[in-house]
Structure 1
Amino acid sequence: MNHVLCGLAANPSLPSAAVDRLIAVADADLAEALAGRADLSRDQAVALVSRVGDCAVGLAYEGRLTAADIDPATHPMAALALLDEGAGRPEWARLFASDADAGRREKLAACPGLPPDVVERLAADPEVRVVAELAEWAPPEVAAGLAGHPHAEVRRAVAANEATPPETLAALITGEGLPPALHCLVCDHEEIPFTHDRQCPRPDCELLPDAACDGSHESVTHQLWQAALLNPATPTEVAVGFAEHFSTQLRRSLAARPDLPPAVCRRLSEDPVPGVREDLAANPALDDDLIRVLAKDRDSDVRRGLAHNPRVPLDVLTELAGTTKTGEALLPRIATASATETAELARSPHPAVRMLVARRRDLPAAIRDALAADPDAKVLTCIAPHPGLSAAQLRSMAGRHGIRVLAKVAANPDAPAELLAELARHEPPVNKALREIARHRRATAPALLPCLENGRARPVAAGHPALPPAVIVGLLTDSDPEVAEAAAANPSLPPRTMLELVSRP
């Protein structure tokens, strides 16, 4: 792999003539980089495919190739990609429906808008995986027709299809009105009863670790039930029947459904498995009383799930903030807090609560500025990246708390170049801050040059367009291929150097 040429291939400033030269010598790696160019013309895309056929699929998905550019006999997967995008020709679908390669028929089965005769042929395909793929993406009437298929794997796929009619999903769970399944992937290949060894030594074995069949196809039936529980089209009254099921996986899938009745929520809130209570805790179906019960749960993962519930009352959330690690993401309830609630949260005497609101990026200026002056470093790490903060405010944060906040200060989109240069020269160096500076849109050479001295920031800084051209050229021969590639992709690389590089034998 020539890292410099791959970098050049991705360089947005590369002249079109140089792109043509790279296409003429492209290998698989170079073709992948060239295929990602935003300015790649249709003629160049066609030329690239003639050089490296494997890139045709990606170009087809990106709309760089049309049906007129693809011969399905030469580039079958690209033709299938166009069919998948709804841009292929109907006759291609009929061609692939009778293809000897089951993998291609399987890919075809997932394509939308197939002609009725093609759907009918795929539904009768001798390969179960082809029919199952069709079942998972088929329109309602086709999915309903496949619910009675003799193979349990096809029925599992029907259960996962959100277009499957609710009454069909109910029948798949209860079995009412459907003939019993006759086959599954286990009994297709093994004498039953059979339970798959989790340490199976066979290198060609494709069975899942928990695959089992005693004639009732129990493992795939379990998968079918789970798929149905995760399917929002499954009727609530059928789904709730799994509240007492012995399978933890099924109870967890049920606990996450937003259509749960209060009585079922109460039952699941008493589940002995913390994971079930955790999934329930994040469910917006919970009422306030049950939320307050789960807020006192002994398991921290349950309380964390509750903190991410969009309906959690603010008083409960503020209590949780003091006892539970909620992560760095903005919590849904904080994101929807009213102006009055936001102001109250920002005035909280507890730093953990102020941290929650400081993660918002749409705060009124007065609240933002008050939090920027907060005495607690953890609050500052949350507010420092907020747009609109002045250089003086950012410099003050850095001066008061040093390395504890430098990386977040450097991540502020409005940090001026002078401040970034100061942060880059901080002693001792702060690795995370240097990486933020290396990618900052306002960074200039005085800030970027120190980043080149840091092993992890160096590849990022090498691609920054504010680097001096002479420095970029020097980085082309760096011992780290990632740095050399980033420099070659730098849009500030002199055009003469680009042309010289592509002209070398």
Structure 2
Amino acid sequence: MVAFHASALDGVARNPALPTALLLRLLAFGRGGDRPPRGALQRAGLPESAVVAILAHPDPGARIDFAMSAWAEPSQRARLADDPSPKVRAALAYGPEVYDARTGVAPLPDAVCVRLLDDHAPSVRAALLESPHVAPSFVASMAAHHRAEARREAVRAWEVLPPGVRSALLADPDSEVRRAAALWECRRDTRVTAALLRDPRSAVEALRRGLLARADAEPYVAERAHLTALAENPSLPADLVERLAVDPDEAVRLAVSVRPELDETRRMAIDFTVGDHDRGDGVAWVRDGLADPEVLRRAATSAHPLLRRTAARSPHLPHDLLRLLAGVEDPVVENHLCIHHPDTPEEVLMRVFARLGGTFSAWMAETHPRFPREGLAARYADHPDGNYRRLAVRDPAATPALIERLSHDPEVWTRQAAARDPRLPLHRLREALHVRELASSAGTNPALPEDEMAAVLDRAGVPA
């Protein structure tokens, strides 16, 4: 197949205006050895006839693509639970690899998860247990499962498990289940913490999270062992916290500086340094409280960069805290705001776009619902940087003549953006379908007439 025909076909498969008849024709493609384009398998709002065609497709790869679609309804994907291929069932059990960070993915129905968790193929069971899309209620229900690996994962729901269920997991016949349960229970029981400290596999995490008796903490301070983990422990006695606050190890002092009980004066009196990417996963007590107004206010109003950066991950920031963080002038804070908050100010989005063009954060900024649109054509159509000329296509006031001019731009990303725009004059849109680097973008253009879409399928050799 000629390269630009294949690219145009991929574009048409993703075209939101693709008629059902052509979609079904695409889905039948592959029964002779070629797989349907992924865009035809991973679309929002698939009609029932298309779902039936995918479920019956002879190529397991096509069914895998559908099983991992972030746009299909869970009830549609769930119909693959009895698929003959364990690879398809494993793909269904795990779910989408990549999805829109602003919306997430709805979990499969509990009844389907039950079947997948008892699948005869270990790969299917493992995929479900590793999936980030399983409902919390189902995670909790696994505490009574007959398989040890399921019970081990159930401890993630420890805080909502009834006391009797917790006790059963702590006394589980499987040692790994008992250890996983103890790593949660140690947060409230010094005896459990002490036992875990004797296990080299568990000691560091127990030091970080467990309820510590003073006698268990002091030897680590004296021997200077695992001090960074110990500095995070919420039960560490105050005098030991003060000793670690002046420790010669900068990483230890930094860990002390983010402790939740410190007031702002004491926190900022500690000698610490924060790098551009320190604590990429955030400060635990703030991360755990991203929906808690009090936690968010403490963190967002702090002078400590790591607390502000973690607070910026919350989509629940009230307007005053959002404005406060938007003015902090910390690139990490701005990146988090553009990825996680639905009301991020336009000026923040533009700064992220300008600073990080071509990165994930810049893409999230540009695709953010509040990214500016009006006035971009006048401001950027003749900008010396093609990355900015591309923004002119977003302007609702951009004329067809401007869109056509930009479809000839020296920068390929700008040409592709123009090729996707429905204002592109039809003669140029047809022409773009035969240009190697524009064919895919032109194929996605919702203004592409149905007969042109059908012609793309004909040229690509898709049977009628």
Q: SS of the counterpart of 1:417?
A: coil
Contact 1:262-1:287 at 8 Å conserved across structures: yes
Separation in 1 of the partners of 2:112 and 2:297? 54
- Which residue is equivalent to 2:99? none
- 1:87 to 1:344, Cα distance in 2 relative to 1, 3 A: closer
Q: CA deviation at 1:241?
A: 1.9
Task: Determine which of 452, 455, 460 is the counterpart of 1:497.
Answer: 452
- 1:458 to 1:142, Cα distance in 2 relative to 1, 3 A: same
- Which residue is equivalent to 1:23? 27
- Which residue is equivalent to 1:190? none
- Which residue is equivalent to 2:50? 44
Higher CA-based Rg: 1
Point out where structure 1 has 5 or more consecutive residues left out of the alignment. 98-103, 113-135, 144-153, 173-177, 182-220
Q: SS of the counterpart of 2:202?
A: helix
Separation in 1 of the partners of 2:16 and 2:111? 28
- Which residue is equivalent to 1:242? 196
TM-score (norm 1): 0.54
Contact 2:64-2:88 at 8 Å conserved across structures: yes
TM-score (norm 2): 0.58
Task: Determine which of 395, 419, 424 is the counterpart of 1:468.
Answer: 424
Q: CA deviation at 1:497?
A: 2.7
Separation in 1 of the partners of 2:296 and 2:111? 48
Point out where structure 2 has 5 or more consecutive residues left out of the alignment. 69-73, 94-107, 130-139, 156-160
Task: Determine which of 114, 136, 144 is the counterpart of 1:140.
Answer: 144
Contact 1:10-1:489 at 8 Å conserved across structures: yes
Task: Give the letter aligned to residue 45 of structure 1.
Answer: V
Separation in 2 of the partners of 1:359 and 1:65? 30
Percent sequence identity over matched residues?
21
Q: Deviations over 1:467-498 (max 9, x none)?
A: 63556555544444xx6434423434444432
Separation in 2 of the partners of 1:366 and 1:90? 42
- 1:15 to 1:324, Cα distance in 2 relative to 1, 3 A: same
Does structure 1 residue 7 correspond to structure 2 residue 11?
Answer: yes
Task: Give the letter aligned to residue 498 of structure 1.
Answer: M
- 1:296 to 1:161, Cα distance in 2 relative to 1, 3 A: same
Task: Give the letter aligned to residue 274 of structure 2.
Answer: T
Contact 1:439-1:464 at 8 Å conserved across structures: no
Separation in 2 of the partners of 1:286 and 1:439? 57
Task: Give the letter aligned to residue 254 of structure 1.
Answer: A
Matched positions, count: 395
Task: Give the letter aligned to residue 40 of structure 1.
Answer: L
Contact 1:377-1:404 at 8 Å conserved across structures: no
Task: Determine which of 485, 492, 495 is the counterpart of 2:440.
Answer: 485
Q: Deviations over 1:76-96 (max 9, x none)?
A: 6667888985556999999x7
- Which residue is equivalent to 1:417? 374
- 1:441 to 1:308, Cα distance in 2 relative to 1, 3 A: farther
Q: SS of the counterpart of 2:375?
A: helix
Contact 1:358-1:371 at 8 Å conserved across structures: no
- 1:425 to 1:451, Cα distance in 2 relative to 1, 3 A: farther
- Which residue is equivalent to 1:63? 75
Higher relative contact order (CA 8 A, sep 6+): 2
Q: SS of the counterpart of 1:368?
A: helix
Q: CA deviation at 1:22?
A: 0.7
Separation in 2 of the partners of 1:486 and 1:441? 18
- Which residue is equivalent to 1:212? none
Separation in 2 of the partners of 1:380 and 1:91? 42
Q: Deviations over 1:166-212 (max 9, x none)?
A: 5565557xxxxx7xx9xxxxxxxxxxxxxxxxxxxxxxxxxxxxxxx
Q: SS of the counterpart of 2:75?
A: coil
Please show how residues 76-91 of structure 1 align to structure 2 within 5 Å. Answer: 85=109
